[in-house]
Amino acid sequence: MKLYDLFAKWKAQHWVHWLWRVPLLLFMALCVWLLIFRWLPVPTSAFMLRQDVVAIFSAETPFVRHDWVSLAEIPRHMQIAVIASEDQRFAEHWGIDVAATEAAIRAEMRGRGKGGGSTITQQLVKNLFLWEGRSYLRKGLEWGIAGLMEIFWSKERILEVYLNTAQFGKADYGVGAASANLLHKPVGKLGAAEAALLAAVLPAPSKYSAVKPSGYVRARQGRIMRQMRSIGGAAYLQRLD
């Protein structure tokens, strides 16, 4: 065997030897990241970074506005509004709502899938680490990281980071920026109706507006306020402890 062939064989074996370690290294890096930001404010997300990069090259895309606010500073009705709107079984599940996911899968198999089934934890994982669009790869990563996040973070921490990274407007990420820039008041001054209004735009903040809410957004706001009363407000939040 020629020297070149021996080198090529060694190089191929060496590459394979290291290839299996890449997922392990990524997993370890993710665990370290989750451990660090179990307490520290999360400065940005994959979605925010992408928007800022696009904004550099496009005058039509605004730069991100983001202000971190601790959970203690966010009114309870704002916390409950998001749970009522996005994930009413947030206190019970371990990152994945199995019943909602099964229903979404069945709808998809019947050709009537419109997404859905994603928990607050899954949405947070997508916002922090992943990308838009629908694919089995993204959904698989979302499920795996959501389960890991539930191990490292408390429910309160997941809710706090979600409220600080969710997109509420074309440029506004987090309730701090949304309250200041869209409703022109500090987040601590938000009323229950205003909290429900912000939660009402979460499914599509680039399409729906809290500044000039459409009839659909107003109707959704009303439904969220009824759901807020039905799940019990402060009593529900105590279940997150």
Q: What is the CATH number of the domain that holds 73?
A: 1.10.3810.10
Q: Please tell me whether residues 80 and 179 are part of one structural domain.
A: yes
Pair 71, 103 in one domain: yes
Q: In terms of domains, do 103 and 217 share one? A: yes
Residue 80 structural domain = 37-238
User: Residue 64 carries which DSSP code?
Assistant: P
Rounded Cα distance between 90 and 62, Å, is 32
For the cut 70, the answer to whether the pLDDT of residue 81 exceeds it is yes
For the residues 99-115, what does the mean pLDDT come to? 66
pLDDT exceeds 80 at position 47: yes
pTM of the model: 0.87
Q: 167 and 62 share a domain? A: yes
23, containing H or E segment? helix 21-36
Q: Are 21 and 74 within one domain?
A: no
Same domain, 131 and 185: yes
Average pLDDT over residues 74-103: 88
Q: Output the pLDDT for position 232.
A: 75
Share of the chain above pLDDT 90, in %: 64
Structural domains in the chain (count):
2
- Give me the pLDDT at residue 230, please: 87
Sign of CA dihedral 34, 35, 39, 40: negative
Do 12 and 69 have their domain in common?
A: no
Q: Does position 153 have pLDDT exceeding 80, yes or no?
A: yes
Residue pair 120/159 in contact (Cβ under 8 Å)? The answer is yes
pLDDT at 151 over 90: yes
75 and 182 inside one domain: yes
Q: Which helix (H) or strand (E) holds 172?
A: strand 172-173
Residues whose CB falls within 8 Å of the CB of residue 163, separated by 6 or more in sequence, listed in order: 69, 71, 74, 78, 79, 82, 174, 175
Of 70 and 109, the one with more pLDDT: 70
Q: Is residue 78 within 8 Å of 195, Cβ to Cβ?
A: yes
Q: Which pLDDT value is given to residue 7? A: 46
Q: Say whether both 79 and 12 belong to one domain.
A: no
Same domain, 131 and 200: yes
